[in-house]
Structure 1
């Protein structure tokens, strides 16, 4: 009897300490792969309902993981990248432009790569950096052991261009996104036995509109069923090129996920996919208002998929608002890694939402800013840069200004 009581006591003690918690991660240091597309709109995926293209590998991350239906980044490249790396609004980090030094993150900001490096992760970034071209702003100075790609915001040629590898000039090998993925595959292979953080900030579908023939030939004569509803005339050739480039991204995402499966690392790897801003031209984007450069929904809403098999429930859809500033604290929450930064992090740790644990929702606001224009998003509403108020849960296209009906709410957001 005493022995049975002892067993019961041990079980109770273990449960109370969380040792048998169903939702506690069993992998303490999972690998992390972060895909970031460049100028891809929310609507540029078949998982968003666009049958103009097919993106099965990216869609699979949504099917096999979780999606935030209301995830926001900034209207242009450098600001979003700064927020993802630091967990702080870009206006606090020293970033104010996309060139001429205004894209640089201040030296005393802490990046997710630096945090993970201290936690014994091997870190690499392959692609478009756009947060400072020289040390101490360079990726190798901001926590990344290895860097391959181009550090500026724009590159004029995507076929075997001149690039850099850890500061040394090198010549690329073939189509740039394929080449970056090759480096990612090599990095995974070399680090399969230890925790790694692989950041893949791809450079497409940003211009120049260059894509391998095999992807363009599938798209060039295709009839498009989903078109922009903006007043501006849609450039169908540009749209087709952008969609072909996204299908190439999907092909490369598949190469990475196939590698993870082949190495039996799927349960030990967190995979994230998102874009850095809205589409770079008017094309179908779920009828949202605005495109790249706009602080409206269409300029700042991005798909956000996160997969961690056997940890994050399959097909989980979350409607809570979230943003690029949340990636750093949420990853640290998923990994149970404590971190300290010189300046306060603006983002929230949303790991409890992803793991199905108790989460207390807050009356939260997310801010978007660019080119002198600012908008604010609450869980239900957006106040735009001209102080017009929209109920986004009913009016994602921002057609019905309700500021006169709810003046107190508009003033609160203002």
Structure 2
């Protein structure tokens, strides 16, 4: 059916081209739908590229995307990770899709949102994502349920180990191979080769240069003892070692981009592939960023301006520079429009197709407002001005560093932008309400659901291994009154096998506990010691903020029958013969009578 559907699309596309008088060469170019590759870096600032003027590093392969395609001079994303991803996926502002946080459920994209991957998948594309998802883990929030037929990576907001860490492949826990950015690129290249004879959409969201600051030796050696040419003034307290690690990670990304582009060329696919490159927010430290104000987490220019390059040889003019403002919300309609796909959705898009700016001169393009939001702070950008979260106005042409507030001099413009911001906030408030979404378990059509410590609440004396939940585990479980709970909704009644991932020293073996989901109970006992050390610090180039990690092993608890509906899920100790129950990381529920084979257990 997919091939029939694709053939019809191509015939219709060809008929339209002939009917509109397009010449034979153009028909040849568009006879096959274009492939799409989207590369997204994590916490890389606009200034972390040599094409931006940074002499501290060299990124020739990423720079080549700009010289071979088009670059947008003012492209805006959200101040942090998951909101940017939500806006990219949907073409809508992140609050509309229920994304208000970066962890513990607030990163999930509402299930009634349509993603651009849904559109491409329905058009017959082979779709895949490799890397950091960060918009929900449990199906149907999982990427395999959001239009991506293939997924390899992790669904959390950050990861604690970048060298052969625990990952997942289509929901099944696996062990990664090598440095994550290298591994994700390898998987993307293999997918491209496997699907070279059909149109494909590849989304490659790297997890670097997000901390912890880990990078292979070959890249670190270039920077370890290097004298950096471009540093911030001493008053800004730049962490030089952190900067060096970030730049080394950016050069690793560049190397991987080079490998990916060479793969496209070797398969004779480059000319029919749209390649996009951008970052999800501003830099994750104070380092050179073109003199802009703000960094990651800020709604000022430096926190939300991203590089944006898009290449399609023979279609998008090489070296084209677009000065009009644009943003993440525009990516969905732009890619669908360039591919000639119908992208009408039930919910209106906030973004617009940038195709006229790419293929035409943009002379009829109207000025617009682009809104940046995080943690209750909102700024608004027009072609010339930025109104910041305090309603200070800056002329971004004359004052790109936001040093002089002109709100009193330009009262009319200030009033217009304040009114625009107020209307936007009211509109978002209508769509966004307090989060009451449970974590889903047993979604029909999917075999495995993971319930990590990240998504749970600890009660009593139980503590997280770190204040940042994304890759944390629970420890200090010492009292019979202590509990770990999740708010869940069982989507399909049935029998589920349950595994619990833990560590426990020999002296504490013997604890008994109960897992309860609604009225269903399942008891377990820790009978085998497993007490590995904390690790991660051996690969860190600078001391991390995030949790260190351990190698957890599974404890097979048997099976339990779950009733459909919403319930509290809890873990509670029944007996603690030693000083603690265990350190806990994860529960995995697997529907029985499934065809999936979970071979890789050491996560």
TM over 0.5: yes
Q: How does 1:271-290 map to 2 (within 5 A)?
A: 271-290=275-294
Q: How does 1:50-61 map to 2 (within 5 A)?
A: 50-61=54-65
Corresponding residue for residue 100 of structure 1: 104
How far residue 335 of structure 1 moved from its aligned partner, in angstroms, is 1.1
Q: How does 1:118-137 map to 2 (within 5 A)?
A: 118-137=122-141
From 160, 177, 185, the equivalent of 1:156 is 160
From 11, 17, 22, the equivalent of 1:19 is 22
User: Judging changes above 3 Å, is the alpha-carbon distance between structure 1 residues 146 and 282 closer, same or farther for their aligned structure 2 residues?
Assistant: same
Corresponding residue for residue 558 of structure 2: none
Alpha-carbon separation, structure 1, partners of 2:280 and 2:28: 29
Corresponding residue for residue 3 of structure 1: none
How far residue 26 of structure 1 moved from its aligned partner, in angstroms, is 2.8
**Deviation digits for residues 153-190 of structure 1, max 9, x if unmatched?**
01000000000000000000000100000100100100
Provide the secondary structure at the position in 1 that maps to 2:127.
strand
Answer yes or no: is 1:76 the counterpart of 2:92: no
Provide the secondary structure at the position in 2 that maps to 1:246.
helix
Corresponding residue for residue 216 of structure 1: 220
State whether residues 54 and 247 of structure 1, in contact with CA within 8 Å, keep that contact through their aligned partners in structure 2. yes
**Deviation digits for residues 97-117 of structure 1, max 9, x if unmatched?**
001100000001000100000
Alpha-carbon separation, structure 1, partners of 2:221 and 2:175: 27
* Structure 2: stretches of 5+ with no match in the other structure: 1-15, 419-603
Alpha-carbon separation, structure 1, partners of 2:370 and 2:405: 19
Alpha-carbon separation, structure 2, partners of 1:323 and 1:229: 30
- Greater C-alpha Rg: 2
Answer yes or no: is 1:334 the counterpart of 2:330: no
Provide the secondary structure at the position in 1 that maps to 2:74.
strand
User: Judging changes above 3 Å, is the alpha-carbon distance between structure 1 residues 80 and 40 closer, same or farther for their aligned structure 2 residues?
Assistant: same
State whether residues 17 and 27 of structure 2, in contact with CA within 8 Å, keep that contact through their aligned partners in structure 1. no
How far residue 228 of structure 1 moved from its aligned partner, in angstroms, is 2.5
From 67, 70, 91, the equivalent of 2:71 is 67
**Deviation digits for residues 44-101 of structure 1, max 9, x if unmatched?**
0000000100000000000100001010000000000000000000010110100110
Answer yes or no: is 1:265 the counterpart of 2:247: no
TM-score (norm 1): 0.94
TM-score (norm 2): 0.65
Which 4+ stretches in 1 moved above 3 angstroms? Answer: 13-16, 20-25
State whether residues 81 and 280 of structure 2, in contact with CA within 8 Å, keep that contact through their aligned partners in structure 1. yes
Alpha-carbon separation, structure 2, partners of 1:16 and 1:262: 35
State whether residues 18 and 27 of structure 2, in contact with CA within 8 Å, keep that contact through their aligned partners in structure 1. no
**Deviation digits for residues 298-326 of structure 1, max 9, x if unmatched?**
00000000000011001000000000000
Aligned-residue CA RMSD (Å): 1.7
Corresponding residue for residue 398 of structure 2: 394
User: Judging changes above 3 Å, is the alpha-carbon distance between structure 1 residues 313 and 39 closer, same or farther for their aligned structure 2 residues?
Assistant: same
Q: Counting helix residues as a fraction of each chain, which structure ranks higher? A: 1
How far residue 333 of structure 1 moved from its aligned partner, in angstroms, is 1.2
How far residue 15 of structure 1 moved from its aligned partner, in angstroms, is 9.0
State the aligned residue count: 402
